[in-house]
Structure 1
Amino acid sequence: MGKPTVHDIAREAGVSLATVDRVLNARPGVREKTAARVHTAIEKLGYVRDIYAANLARQRNYNFVFILPDGQSQFLHSMRDAIAEARVGLLADRSDIRTITVQLRDPAAMIRTMHRIEHARVDGVAILASETPMVRDMIAHFKERGISVVALVTDQPNSERDHFVGIDNLAAGRTAGHLMGRFARRPGRVAVVLNTTQARDMVDRRLGFDEVLTRDFPHLVALPSLEGRDDHERTAQVLNACLDSVGDVSGIYCVGAGMRGVTQVVAARGLTGKVTVVGHDLTPHTRAALEAGTVDVIINQNTGHLVRSAARVLRARCDGAPVIASQEKIRIEIVLKENLP
């Protein structure tokens, strides 16, 4: 017997082809009992829908929007480049991506962004943003309108988002703690610089870092977090003030944005090779810092994989298809000067 078709389902369930089509595409207008008969027939016959063929027949196109914060960090630049690169390949698969940058602390900008998306035919949204009430409201707004939502890089666990795409940030922080413990040249204090304590990825990384240092490396003591707020000059200022206050540190952990400020301070104070520096995200700057020895190790997540995974997850949500967990798991990469790609 060949593969079952929609005609076989209609015959088995005793309904019309139009009814089968409505059930398969989750469209309204089918009574609950009738829909149940169709689903029973599908299960009995072992029908597996060819979603690609169905979308091709209907000339279905997917429109996705990636919302990124309005910033100039090199990580954000790499995300935009990865989106542009992925877009070329996705167009052949009837999917399109466009990017909207928004000042996420500005309520007026948030509202304008919601209206722009609302008035366009958008199937899914990927949001890279700190977890705030405004962002949660934005996600709820999209979900009310049937738009799939993915949290990108930093999770929004208290929102209605459909999926998170990014590394396990708690595990990334633990990795940073282990590396700091192994690489630190002497006992002492560790300065911790992060972007903002409002960002879930920053908080999780800090928690993981503290957990490992406290448990496995008690000779290293992590200092209170310094907020750079995605501003390299501010990062340099708060780090300099910290070093002036405590006198000496054995290591510096840059939890997120701000590495240019950190390396500026390390170089200016003659600390290269004396203080262990662990950071995140391989960018042109962190690559150069690794090569120069200013930074010891970078914990990276592949931006191309992040973007492609977010697009695949959004499409799966639109199709009602399962997400392949192993395919969408973003790996934690450890980059040293010796293994620079």
Structure 2
Amino acid sequence: MKEEVASAPLTLRDIARQAGVSLATVDRVLHNRPGVRPDTVRRVREAIERNAFQPHVAAAELARGRARRFAFVMPSGPNLFMQQIEAYLGEMSGWLSARRLSVEVIATDVFDPMVLTDCLEQLAGDFDGVAVVALDHPSVRAAINDLVDSGTEIVTLVSDVPSSRRHHYVGIDNIAAGRSAGALVGRLVRARQGKVAIIAGSQGLRDHAERIFGFNQVMASEFAGLDVLPVLEGRDDDARSEELTARLLRDHPDMVGLYNVGAGTPGVAKALIESGRDKQVVFVGHDVTVLTRKLLLQGVMDAAISQNPGHEARAAVRVLLALARGEPILSEQEKIRIDIVMRDNLP
């Protein structure tokens, strides 16, 4: 499934039409020439800001002689965090157009290595750059390397494949995120004994595997009295995550903590609420969405390990553009921070 995010680049004529003025008036405003009424100046500047229009950048891109196309390969299904990234890409349309860029969002099953591999193989020759939420699997790794060999710039997004020849990774330090989750669960449980459950989307996703590794590191070194149960995989599916959580609650009446590594949060929360143990089991998950905000306010969820989806969307596009132009990547600007969000500091 392909969704076109950016269309043809905006021109000065487009700005003039939106502001309801002539092209000459727009030119006077841009060059701070006299003879334009303040209200007209305001309308022109509002149109420029609304579209993130940068005429000098646009002119430079036009001089290069061609537009560039980027693809974002994203998970299919109701993953609210990934939907936020897609929404922010849509909000960048004016910025993209000014640089003669277009972005297509391609939804696929990133949990199935063969499906994801086939998706990546079909992109060869069609795009200047690809950002992919990737499964760390030999077939996926080979598909990424083939795209690199074909001249495509590759950025892994949220979940990395470090053994591939991808050019850059955009995302948080997932081991640190897992360690943060472990510290939160251990401290909030306040019990010396009990069981702690982990539900992941897939341990084949590098971000999930690294979060689990970091979580277990802290559990083993700082909270030896807590018994960490084997990881269960919910594939970021709400119904499956609900079923797994209900089973855990039924089989382990002494369960005191739960770490949800990926999506599937609605299912986990529903099972906790229906069991009546939502205030007894410490629940830590990821990302601030409309749903997790509500769960934090209700006290069902104790904390969310958050990463900024808007920053990730912008960083991935900026990195792909820098790679395509042969320009340096501003590492500090593109670094994605980890935030710990609780009910008392909800943004």
* TM beyond 0.5: yes
What is aligned with 1:140? 145
Report how far residue 135 of structure 1 moved: 1.7
Cα distance in 2 for residues equivalent to 1:214 and 1:109: 35
Alignment of 1:28-177 (within 5 A): 55-104=61-110, 105=112, 107=114, 110-111=117-118, 114-115=121-122, 117-118=123-124, 120=126, 122-177=127-182
Report how far residue 103 of structure 1 moved: 2.9
Cα distance in 2 for residues equivalent to 1:181 and 1:337: 18
Alignment of 1:187-336 (within 5 A): 187=192, 188-336=194-342
TM-score, normalising length: structure 1? 0.80
Report how far residue 110 of structure 1 moved: 4.5
Moved more, 242-251 or 100-109: 100-109
* CA offsets 1:105-126 (integer angstroms, 9 cap, x no match): 27467536533x3353x21100
TM-score, normalising length: structure 2? 0.78
Q: Which runs of 5+ in 2 are unaligned?
A: 1-55
What is aligned with 1:339? 345
SS across alignment from 1:250: strand
Report how far residue 141 of structure 1 moved: 2.1
Evaluate the alpha carbon distance shift between residue 52 and residue 93 of structure 1 in structure 2; reply closer, same or farther with a 3 A threshold: closer
Same amino acid, percent of matched pairs: 40
Evaluate the alpha carbon distance shift between residue 323 and residue 243 of structure 1 in structure 2; reply closer, same or farther with a 3 A threshold: same
Q: Which runs of 5+ in 1 are unaligned?
A: 1-49
Does the Cα contact within 8 Å between 2:304 and 2:340 map onto a contact in 1?
yes
In the alignment, residue 291 of structure 1 is paired with which amino acid? L
What is aligned with 1:46? none
Report how far residue 97 of structure 1 moved: 1.3
Does the Cα contact within 8 Å between 1:185 and 1:274 map onto a contact in 2?
no
Report how far residue 60 of structure 1 moved: 4.2
Does the Cα contact within 8 Å between 1:103 and 1:110 map onto a contact in 2?
no
What is aligned with 1:12? none
Moved more, 302-311 or 68-77: 68-77
Cα distance in 2 for residues equivalent to 1:309 and 1:129: 17
* CA offsets 1:75-113 (integer angstroms, 9 cap, x no match): 222122122112332222332211111234274675365
Report how far residue 315 of structure 1 moved: 1.1
In the alignment, residue 128 of structure 1 is paired with which amino acid? V
Does the Cα contact within 8 Å between 2:86 and 2:313 map onto a contact in 1?
no
* CA offsets 1:154-213 (integer angstroms, 9 cap, x no match): 001111111100000000001111111221142321111111111111110011011112
Evaluate the alpha carbon distance shift between residue 184 and residue 88 of structure 1 in structure 2; reply closer, same or farther with a 3 A threshold: farther
Does the Cα contact within 8 Å between 1:69 and 1:129 map onto a contact in 2?
no
What is aligned with 1:29? none
Cα distance in 2 for residues equivalent to 1:179 and 1:213: 10
Moved more, 236-245 or 172-181: 236-245
Evaluate the alpha carbon distance shift between residue 197 and residue 112 of structure 1 in structure 2; reply closer, same or farther with a 3 A threshold: closer
SS across alignment from 1:262: helix
Does the Cα contact within 8 Å between 1:185 and 1:275 map onto a contact in 2?
no
Does the Cα contact within 8 Å between 1:226 and 1:239 map onto a contact in 2?
no
SS across alignment from 1:287: helix
